[in-house]
Structure 1
Amino acid sequence: MLTITATLRCQGGHEDVLRDALLDVARHVAAHEPDTIGFFVSQDLADPCIFTTYERFADQAAMDRHNTSAALARCFATISPILDGDVVLLTGTELSAKT
């Protein structure tokens, strides 16, 4: 199982925009990406400007389809102007999971 963990920070006052854009991607994943095994979105309790996604993919092809999807492109077109710093991406191989 391949994974991506992404951490995104938006400028203060734009939390709703970032949250809505990430949830739009989550809805797209649920409806159109059967080989994306999981797509989780979290908002930090201490700093609501920080969001994290945890994404689980059946294989490299599934990850590539997700990363080149129109939904993700729309998300980044929306959020790029409100990001505070770079998106931090960690790509890995999942070693353990409780499902």
Structure 2
Amino acid sequence: MLTITAVIRVKPGHQAAMSDALSAVADHVRRHEPQTLGFYVSQDMTDPCVFTTYERFVDQAAMDRHNQSAAVAHFFGIAKPILEGDVTLVTCREICTREQAAA
């Protein structure tokens, strides 16, 4: 299992646009990427300009398909002008997991 964690900072006033753009990617993943096992989007509780994604892929091929998808290209077309700094990406090999249902 491979994962990507992304930390994304947007310019003030662009939080809704980023939230919408990330939600569109999540929807695309849900509908079209069965080998992307999770695509989680979060917004920082103390700094609403900071978003994170946590993405889980069955293998490198699934990660590559996701990263090269039209949905990701469309996302970056929207995101680039509203980013404040670079997106921080951390790619990892998952070593353990424990998921539970949301309360």
Quote the offset at 1:3 in angstroms.
0.3
Identity of aligned residues (%): 60
Instruction: Please give the per-residue CA displacement for 1:3-33, whole angstroms capped at 9, x wherever unaligned.
Output: 0000000000000000100000000000000
Q: Structure 2: state its 5+ residue gaps.
A: none
The CA RMSD measured in Å over matched residues stands at 0.4
- Amino acid corresponding to residue 85 of structure 2 in structure 1: G
TM-score of the superposed pair, with normalisation by structure 2: 0.95
Instruction: Please give the per-residue CA displacement for 1:42-95, whole angstroms capped at 9, x wherever unaligned.
Output: 000000000000000000000000000000000000010000000000000011
Stretches (4+) displaced over 3 A: none
Task: Determine the structure 2 residue equivalent to 1:20.
Answer: 20
Describe the SS at the equivalent of 1:86: coil
Structure 1 Cα separation of the partners of residues 41 and 95 of structure 2? 20
Task: Determine the structure 2 residue equivalent to 1:65.
Answer: 65
Q: How many residues align?
A: 99
